[in-house]
Amino acid sequence: MILPLTLDRLAFAAGGRTIIPPLSLEIGAGAATVILGANGAGKSVLMRLMHGLLRPTGGRITWSESDEARIRRQQAMVFQRPVMLRRSALANVVYALKLANAPAREREARALDSLKEVGLLPIAHRPARVLSGGEQQRLALARAWALHPEVLFLDEPTASLDPSATREIENIIKAFDASGTKIVMATHNLGQARRLGDEVLFLHQGRLVERTPVDRFFKEPSSAEAAAFIKGELPWV
């Protein structure tokens, strides 16, 4: 198990600006964590720090595992815009399995299983780059599913999709959650946060202002910034 993840006075600055002032928190298994905040609050940066795409300029990130390779392999990330290789959908998933050192004999079978899981089996051999936005995002999730990661990071996964594609993606995320994968997701879509999240991490100007179970967050946020944020996003509430 690589969880829990401990952030110890984690800080990040770039271009002379402090983007994340020292932040400490622990992320444990189980509850689906949704990160909320205004644009520029630092959600994407925080996730990239946790996933290891950015190196902190201060503080430490510690997983409950010392083996670097295991730490990497037990995580996957899905970005707002999926990036696919110029190969078939199936080949893209096989590529991810190859990088994860899955035994060669198993790769195609596992890839086909993942595609089936997300409903993309019929187009397994189509070039990934000609698929629609929603299909490519499903493919990105299939790619992550094949790896059976312990933690799945999602950075605004449905921001570029229409409502029906969004619903499909949410169903897959729910399936991940049900299978025991830890979800850490940044989103702007508050309805989505309610549907998929168990707890909310609310960021304001890089600081963790509030950490609350999702229902209580929307009914009675404990911080003024969160209240203002919710009112701003949902003025009728």
Partner 1 sequence: MESVSQALAGALGLIASWDAQLAGIVALSLTVSLSAVFCATLLALPLGAAVAVARFPGRRALIVLLNALMGLPPVVVGLVVYLLLSRAGPLGPLGILFTPAAMVFAQTVLILPLIAALCRQAVEDAWMEYEEQLRSLGANGMRAALTLVWDIRFSLLTAVLAGLGRASAEVGAVIMVGGNIDGVTRVMTTTIALETSKGDLPLALSLGIVLILLVLVLNAAAYLVKEAAQRRYG
Radius of gyration of the chain (CA): 18
SS3 of residue 191 by DSSP: helix
Stretch that binds partner 1, among 16-24, 92-100, 180-188, 226-234 (CB under 8 A): 92-100
Question: Could you say which of 61, 127, 195, 205 contacts partner 1 (CB under 8 A)?
Answer: 127
Q: One-letter amino acid identity for 68?
A: E
Shortest CB 227 distance to partner 1, Å:
33
Nearer to partner 1, 96 or 226 (CB): 96
Q: Residue 64 CA to chain centroid, in angstroms?
A: 19
Shortest CB 215 distance to partner 1, Å:
32
Shortest CB 72 distance to partner 1, Å:
5
Contact call for residue 85 and partner 1 (CB under 8 A): yes
Contact call for residue 14 and partner 1 (CB under 8 A): no
Nearer to partner 1, 72 or 207 (CB): 72
Contact call for residue 230 and partner 1 (CB under 8 A): no
Which residue is associated with the tokens 């590529």? 95
Q: How big is the CA angle at 30 (ends 19 and 146), to the nearest 5 degrees?
A: 85
Phi, psi of 104 (to 5 degrees): -55, -40
Question: Could you say which of 70, 72, 194, 195 contacts partner 1 (CB under 8 A)?
Answer: 72
Nearer to partner 1, 99 or 228 (CB): 99
DSSP 111: H
Question: Could you say which of 129, 174, 188, 194 contacts partner 1 (CB under 8 A)?
Answer: 129
Contact call for residue 102 and partner 1 (CB under 8 A): no
CA nearest neighbour of 130 among 96, 168, 87: 87
Q: Kindly identify the residues of this chain, within the stretch 37-66, that bind partner 1 according to CB under 8 A.
A: 48, 51, 53
- Alpha-carbon span 168 to 156, nearest angstrom: 14
Question: Could you say which of 76, 193, 203, 214 contacts partner 1 (CB under 8 A)?
Answer: 76
Identify the sign of the CA torsion 77, 83, 87, 90: positive
Nearer to partner 1, 80 or 223 (CB): 80
Identify the sign of the CA torsion 39, 43, 45, 47: negative
Phi, psi of 193 (to 5 degrees): -60, -45
SS3 of residue 7 by DSSP: strand
Contact call for residue 104 and partner 1 (CB under 8 A): no
DSSP 24-48: EEEE-SSSPEEEEE-TTSSHHHHHH
Contact call for residue 100 and partner 1 (CB under 8 A): yes
- Residues forming the site for partner 1 (CB under 8 A): 48, 51, 53, 72-73, 76-77, 79, 82-83, 85-87, 95-96, 99-100, 127-130, 143
